[in-house]
Structures are given as C-alpha cells and as structure tokens.
Amino acid sequence: AQTVTQSQPEMSVQEAETVTLSCTYDTSENNYYLFWYKQPPSRQMILVIRQEAYKQQNATENRFSVNFQKAAKSFSLKISDSQLGDTAMYFCAFTNYNQGGKLIFGQGTELSVKP
C-alpha cells in the first residue's frame, strides 16, 4: 500500500526567509504524481505544485519549488521569500496512474510565517 509521511507537524519562518517542508512516500509503482496542497485558515484547499515521477527536472511555481528525489522517495517543498499569506496547512499527496485520480495525503504541516 502507498503511504505518505510528513514528519513536521508545525513549522515557523520569518517573513522574507526560506523554509523547506519535508515529505516522504512509499510505493512500488514507477509512474505516479506528487503534489503539495495548501489550506489557508478557514479557506479552501488549493493546489500549489505538482511533479510527474517520470520528469527528472524539479517543478517550480514562482516562489515555490520542489526537491524530488525519486530513489530516496522524498519530495520536499521549498518556499522562498516567505509571505504572511503563506501561513497555512500544507499537505503532501500522491497518486499513481492506476488510481483514477484518488489521492493519498500526508498528515500535514502547519506553517506559520511571522512578521
């Protein structure tokens, strides 16, 4: 069975600094997708970034980038120039090509950006 683990329940960072959120996963599949979702306080969950496993290049979206280490089954999220609006719960998630879009989520990391 596939699993996703986020070992940092809470993190904090000063505004304008960089923070990295960790995620590891376990699967025997070779073709899959990995995601980071953001859930701001009292607001809807939105997709931040995604990575296809067959792509060696790490995905980036503006201030958000990932470090995808397929052999180590590691998928960390780096947030550069942190902003107060980045304060949220962040979830790492996984799906493989055969799961019809079903997601498996990690436990979440609550990130606080401090002024």
Partner 1 sequence: DVKVTQSSRYLVKRTGEKVFLECVQDMDHENMFWYRQDPGLGLRLIYFSYDVKMKEKGDIPEGYSVSREKKERFSLILESASTNQTSMYLCASSGRAGGGYNEQFFGPGTRLTVL
Residues near partner 1, by CB under 8 A: 4, 6, 9, 33, 43-47, 50, 91, 95, 97, 100-108
The nearer residue to partner 1, 44 or 56, going by C-beta atoms, is 44
Nearby residues of 21 by Cβ (< 8 Å), 6 or more positions away: 6, 8, 11, 36, 76, 77, 78, 79, 90, 92, 109, 111
The nearer residue to partner 1, 41 or 115, going by C-beta atoms, is 41
Count of Cβ atoms closer than 10 Å to residue 35 Cβ:
22
CB of 29 vs partner 1, minimal distance in Å: 13
The nearer residue to partner 1, 104 or 113, going by C-beta atoms, is 104
